[in-house]
Structure 1
Amino acid sequence: MASTTDCATAFSAALLDMAHNDERICIVNNDSAETHSALGFQSELPDRFVDVGIAEQNLVGVAIGLANAGLRPFVYSASCFLTARALEQIKNAAYTNANVVFCGFVSGLAYGALGGTHHAVEDLAWMRAIPRMTVLAPATPADTVAALREALTHEGPVYIRIVSKLDTPELFPADHNFVYGGSVQLREGDDVTLVGTGLLTSRLVEAADLLAADGVEAGVLHLGSVQPIDAEAIGRAASRSGRLVVAEDHVLNGGLGGAVAEAVVRTQPVPMLQIGVPNEYAPIGPAEHLYEHFGLTAQGVAKRVREWLS
């Protein structure tokens, strides 16, 4: 795996390219253009860049209005503020099936030392509970750009959880396609299947390499589409390996682990280990310190899996 540009930069660069060829595309922003790599869009297409200031409820309301007028608004905000402060308005967007793409930047624990007010570890649970809401969590820059292309063609609201501020190894080719409701089997294994999304997917690939050195054959399943979810792929993985490990930078309640558990219990019940943020607020510290604290590194996941299998 080779490191490339970060996911947020790749997303915004691709959106700007698309906007030059699609006059419907606009950005609605909450005074965060620099933070979320949107300065290029603001400079080149100022008439299609709307900044409402730090007012997330208005942010979403304006985007719904633009969508109703036939535009394709992309709402730019930090995940923590977008999904919590404007949850009622996001629900209204789904109620009207508005074509709004909600771009949740700096997701998970990426804001690090800014603390619990800025961590976004509940967003998947909130978003996937909303009817008509599509929830995507791409893993790499190429996967993120592919998710963007998919979101632009989708009818109805979409939430994209975008990895930010953290280096991500590239796992996919530049022409990779993101499949709505699909998944990618990145590695086969008969002993256990590691299931991830977003930031954790590349770390699970590394964890599988570490486990292989111990003689444990671990499969890796990437679920970039959290809602709808690929229940068939989950069932196949459960049937083949007989054990699932779900890791995510999210609370254990209601996120990817909850979605996988719901699918497993309906199709192929097997033992399942969840690795994530327990029902507590994270300590203060740099993001990578927090990921190590919660065992959300390749080494941390491999250690938990070894202990679980022993």
Structure 2
Amino acid sequence: MADVIKKATRESYGAALAELGSKYENLVVLDADLAKATKTEVFLKKFPERFYECGISEANMMGVAAGMATCGKIPFASSFAMFAAGRAYEIIRNSIAYPHLNVKIGATHAGITVGEDGATHQCLEDIALMRAIPGMVILNPCDDTEARAAVEAAIQHDGPVYLRFGRLAVENVNNAPDYHFELGKGIQLRDGKDATIIATGLMVQQSLKAAELLAADGIDVRVINIHTIKPLDEEIVVKAARETGLLFTAEEHSVIGGLGEAVAAVVAEQCPVKVHRIGVQDRFGYSGPAVELLRQFHLTGEDIAQTIKASL
């Protein structure tokens, strides 16, 4: 087994772009005055002629990326999730997704673990916004290995892709020698028969912790990592519903419009079982240390374990 590492997926994003720049000569990167924070500065230092600083003008950046895509480039338009998905939404919808252009949106600092930046920067609605756009692929990797793989998968996919990255450093859980990333396919990290946790992003690590805590109490829980929220791996979801009969979804996002609702819709149509959505309830975040915010919003492994025990 490879050594366990701890790294924020935004760092993995920047590193992957720099590494893949030599392999994909038509790869270009755009940023909106946040290259140091989004880590695209790593690409800038290696390929300055293929980096475009667009300033604090996210909507314009998306339009520039759309134009580049029509010329055969593979542009990665980068900014905080709040600005990429929120401020530039209309341009993404009409100028990128409607003509189905090959633009990749690198959205960093997603979720409440932006921490001290507070509610205005803690984007809890981006998955919901992007899910509603026809033809948009949504990738939400949980660790360094998966984030790097997601970037290359996005390059190889023809069409718009929204990639969600975090600020908080997380452990690497996809360290198996045979690890394989396939767009649209979930990964079962742990088997179980009593219930299933379907998680995405950094909630995958918290869900694995919850499963360990529950195992100590004799509760056997399956854990599934969903790195591709759209298109969702319906097969792995329905299989878990049939075999365990009880599902919990876990996401660092609003329970409205995110992974939980996507899973619930599939289950309702194909294999009706009870689904509990664990995430941020219908509220805004607030400023505070990232790890403490996970506790305050009941998104830790201990919280997930308590929720499952109460339901069982």
TM-score by length of 1: 0.96
Identical aligned pairs, as a percentage? 36
1:140 equivalenced with 2:143 (yes/no): yes
Which of 200, 210, 213 lines up with 2:213 in the alignment?
210
> Bigger shift: 27-36 or 170-179?
170-179
User: What does residue range 96-115 of structure 1 map to in structure 2 within 5 Å?
Assistant: 96-115=99-118
The aligned residue for residue 289 of structure 1 is: 292
The aligned residue for residue 62 of structure 1 is: 64
The aligned residue for residue 72 of structure 1 is: 74
Give how far 1:202 is off: 1.3
5+ unaligned residues in a row in structure 1: which ranges?
Answer: none
Contact 2:7/2:169, CA 8 A, preserved across alignment: no
Contact 1:252/1:274, CA 8 A, preserved across alignment: yes
User: What does residue range 263-302 of structure 1 map to in structure 2 within 5 Å?
Assistant: 263-302=266-305
User: What does residue range 164-179 of structure 1 map to in structure 2 within 5 Å?
Assistant: 164-173=167-176, 176-179=179-182
The aligned residue for residue 122 of structure 1 is: 125
5+ unaligned residues in a row in structure 2: which ranges?
Answer: none
- How many residue pairs get aligned? The number is 309
State the SS of the aligned residue for 2:21: helix
The aligned residue for residue 196 of structure 2 is: 193
Contact 2:168/2:290, CA 8 A, preserved across alignment: no
TM-score by length of 2: 0.96
Contact 1:74/1:101, CA 8 A, preserved across alignment: yes
Report the residue type matching 2:80 in the other structure.
A
Report the residue type matching 1:46 in the other structure.
P
Contact 1:143/1:176, CA 8 A, preserved across alignment: no
Give how far 1:113 is off: 1.9
Contact 1:110/1:166, CA 8 A, preserved across alignment: no
CA distance 1:153–1:78, change in 2 (3 Å): same
Give how far 1:2 is off: 2.3
Can you list the C-alpha shifts for 1:37-63, whole angstroms capped at 9, x where unaligned?
122211221111001101110010010
User: CA separation in 2, counterparts of 1:222 and 1:251?
Assistant: 18
The aligned residue for residue 26 of structure 1 is: 28
User: CA separation in 1, counterparts of 2:34 and 2:171?
Assistant: 22
Can you list the C-alpha shifts for 1:19-43, whole angstroms capped at 9, x where unaligned?
1232201101001111111222112
Give how far 1:87 is off: 0.2
The aligned residue for residue 47 of structure 1 is: 49
CA distance 1:74–1:174, change in 2 (3 Å): farther
RMSD: 1.4
Can you list the C-alpha shifts for 1:201-255, whole angstroms capped at 9, x where unaligned?
1111111001000000000011111000011110000011100011111111110
CA distance 1:77–1:174, change in 2 (3 Å): farther
User: CA separation in 2, counterparts of 1:16 and 1:186?
Assistant: 29
